[in-house]
Amino acid sequence: MAVLPILHLTLLPLIIYQATFFASAAVVDPTLGFTLVSLDNSNLVIQKPYNVPVNQRYNFTNGVHQFWIYPTDKSFKIDSNTQPRTEIRISKHEYTSGIWQFEGYGYVPSGTSGVCIMQVFGGSSSATTSQLRVYDGSLTYYKSPHVLSQNIYNRWFRVNAIHDVDANNVKIYIDGVLKRDGVGCGAGTHYFKFGVYAQNDSSNCMESRWKDIKVFKK
């Protein structure tokens, strides 16, 4: 007769944990309450190795931006010592205050590793406030042990990055699920970028694809 109460007490913490886990993993629309910002081609500035034509590192077909880079490529300008990149910088929507949000659908083919595929540029303690990187099929926040999503190769995933400048806070949603909620890197002139930007331990070729790019603000 005493087994059932003991079993109940044993299972209760597990039930509470599962309920908390599933509640925290709820899918939401992070854009609710935000206002859509108008974007056109003039806002999309392509940065690529300075010594090659755009079409050798970038393609846009049927609404999909395709970027690729090699670790031996040059920087995006002759006087820069940064790593090679092929990225789009969202221009004319730089900001220094308020709450801004990037939304887009990303795709990373298998084999791509050691690369930043999306970033919030600008900060006081770092050149960037946020970076989403890919290492061996996992999407990470910078090169921390904080894995945002595993097994991202060869599938489309939704990215929402919300930057609250005044609160110095960055939230990252993947497929509508909050994966990171933490401090940024301070004030600065900020803007969004997406594509491929080589980092440490880069693969022989780095590629990402993006579609349905939007910017929101409050």
CB 95 within 8 A of CB 190: yes
d(CA 27, CA 25): 6
What single-letter DSSP state applies at residue 57?
A: T
Residue 7: pLDDT band by 50, 70, 90 thresholds? Answer: very low
Q: Which tens digit of pLDDT belongs to each residue from 148-167?
A: 999 999 999 999 999 999 99
d(CA 175, CA 169): 20
Pick the CATH number of 28-217 from 2.40.40.20, 1.10.3720.10, 3.40.50.300, 2.60.120.200: 2.60.120.200
Q: What is the pLDDT of residue 146?
A: 86
Maximum CA extent, the chain: 80
What single-letter DSSP state applies at residue 83?
A: P
Residue 179: strand, helix, or coil:
strand
Burial of 70 (0-12, 13-18, 19+ CB in 10 A): middle
C-alpha closest to that of 34 among 197, 188, 163: 163
Domain spans, the chain: 28-217
Q: What is the pLDDT of residue 3?
A: 45
Q: Which tens digit of pLDDT belongs to each residue from 21-35?
A: 434 579 999 999 999
- For tokens 């949000």, name the residue: 101
Asked if pLDDT for residue 169 goes beyond 50, the answer is yes
Asked if pLDDT for residue 189 goes beyond 70, the answer is yes
